[in-house]
Amino acid sequence: MKFGVVTFPGSNCDEDMAQAVESLTQRPVERLWHKEHDLRGCDMVLLPGGFSYGDYLRSGAIARFSPIMQEVAQHAKRGGLVFGVCNGFQVLCEAGLLPGALLHNEGRKFVCRNTWIRPATFNTPLTAGLKSKPLLIPIAHGEGRYHADGETLKALNEEDRVLFHYCDAEGWLKEESNPNGSVENIAGVCNEGRNVFGMMPHPERAADERLGNTAGRQLFESLLQAAMA
């Protein structure tokens, strides 16, 4: 299993993501520059958080046109694994690899804090190894409010493609536990093929004992177990 992390101009969580995966696998992770046309044989591509192209147009809207995204789209079409976090989630939505859109937070303020999320499905490589209990994962975003039209939401729910919901420490979905106003407290979704995943919270920021939180490591372990099965 070979992992690759894409860096766009303005990415700032690429090394965090790479180090989290390297720590888990004990193998080097390919650093993929946005202008490249080669995924270098990576089985899984990770799109990290940050502010690609400064978010000058709309978060992820310019990054979707980077040359590497043509390769990512083809990789996903072949069934390859793709995982986007925060800005990476925005890029995947802008590129049409995931449904919906990420809008400005309610109140239009940047939010940075630990947030509880609850797995909504165990029928994906990202969540198959998780338990049905809330995970405390950091968030840091200004445009993290997930939005989708009624038809898309219906399909996501009926097809079991919502990955996570924002919740309280006991797992209850409450309005006050929704940090950005996302529709139905949605914190992450996947595509129809269940091989492309996106989430707003940052599991790579909760994957090291030195940070006092290893809850995010469970997601990467789930991915690795599923890929090696």
Residues with active-site annotation: 86, 202, 204
Phi, psi of 198, deg, nearest 5: -140, 140
Residue 147, both tokens: 């939005």
The secondary element (H helix, E strand) that includes residue 67 is: helix 67-77
Total count of residues recorded for the chain: 229
The secondary element (H helix, E strand) that includes residue 4 is: strand 3-7
Q: Exposed (0-12), middle (13-18) or buried (19+): which is 176, by Cβ within 10 Å?
A: exposed
- Chain centre to alpha carbon of residue 102: 12
The amino acid at residue 67 is P
